């Protein structure tokens, strides 16, 4: 398997275009993961390190630190809420308004071996800004900008809006591939770190139907 495409690289960081379906960590059942490619990206005796994580089925920008000092700087940036993250998704249905903010705490709910994030007033604070970029009968193209970094935040908040992400079987989006892309990330470091991922093949048809080519 070829390494994921590089969207950005300097002496501090590598930002890759993580394919949908590729986990960042090796699973119990085995199989490829982003970590399998670490030896080829290593610059010294240690590292590299994941600066953050993406769900297995989410495609797009994933930041990898090539130096320990870079890792610490990136982690501080994420912890302080300074990272600017933009996601694109195709969701089921069409919202009644063009934009909004979901401010809904989330907590992990386990049922047998399965789990999901659910709204819970006692859960961790979670805030997501969103705006509709295009739509066609039965589905919409939404840009999500999370201000917090909770597990499954965008997926859970999209479902809370009544418009789950297409292909999200856990949150009501139906079967098929998850239509969620980590489109852009910016870390306000010195120098600034920024990258943008292309639309993955499995999202192209739905995005085009919603008007992506018109941009």
Which pLDDT score, from 0 to 100, does residue 138 have? 94
- Structure tokens, 83: 């990272």
- Tell me the pTM: 0.95
Tell which wins on pLDDT, 1 or 80: 80
User: What are the residue ranges spanned by the domains of the chain?
Assistant: 6-214
Superfamily of domain 6-214: Pseudouridine synthase (3.30.2350.10)
Please write the tens of the pLDDT for every residue from 4-56: 999 999 999 999 999 999 999 987 777 899 999 999 999 988 999 999 999 99
Which pLDDT score, from 0 to 100, does residue 27 have? 77
Of 10, 36, 55, 213, the catalytic one is 55
Tell which wins on pLDDT, 113 or 180: 180
Q: Residue 50 burial by CB count (10 A; 0-12/13-18/19+): exposed, middle or buried?
A: middle
Q: Is 55 a catalytic residue?
A: yes
Helices (H), the chain: 38-41, 68-79, 153-160, 201-209
Q: Quick one: what percent of the chain has pLDDT higher than 90?
A: 92
- Is a pLDDT exceeding 90 seen at residue 215? no
């Amino acid at each position: 398997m070829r390494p994921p495409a590089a969207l950005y690289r300097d002496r501090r960081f590598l930002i890759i275009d993580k394919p949908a379906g590729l986990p960042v960590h090796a699973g119990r059942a085995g199989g490829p993961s982003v970590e399998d490619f670490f030896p080829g990206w290593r610059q010294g005796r240690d590292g590299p390190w994941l600066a953050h994580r993406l769900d297995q089925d989410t495609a797009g920008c994933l930041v990898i630190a090539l130096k320990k000092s870079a890792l610490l700087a990136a982690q501080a940036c994420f912890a302080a809420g300074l990272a600017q993250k933009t996601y694109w998704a195709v969701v089921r249905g069409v919202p009644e308004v063009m934009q909004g903010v979901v401010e809904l705490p989330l907590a992990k709910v386990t049922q047998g071996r399965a789990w999901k994030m659910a709204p819970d007033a006692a859960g961790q604070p979670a805030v997501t800004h969103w705006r509709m970029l295009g739509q066609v009968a039965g589905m919409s193209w939404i840009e999500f900008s999370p201000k917090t970094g909770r597990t499954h935040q965008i997926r859970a908040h999209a479902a809370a809006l009544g418009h789950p992400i297409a292909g999200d079987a856990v949150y009501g989006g139906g079967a098929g591939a998850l239509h969620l892309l980590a489109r852009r990330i910016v870390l306000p470091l010195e120098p600034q770190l920024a990258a943008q991922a292309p639309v993955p093949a499995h999202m192209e048809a739905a995005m085009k139907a919603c008007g992506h080519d018109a941009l």
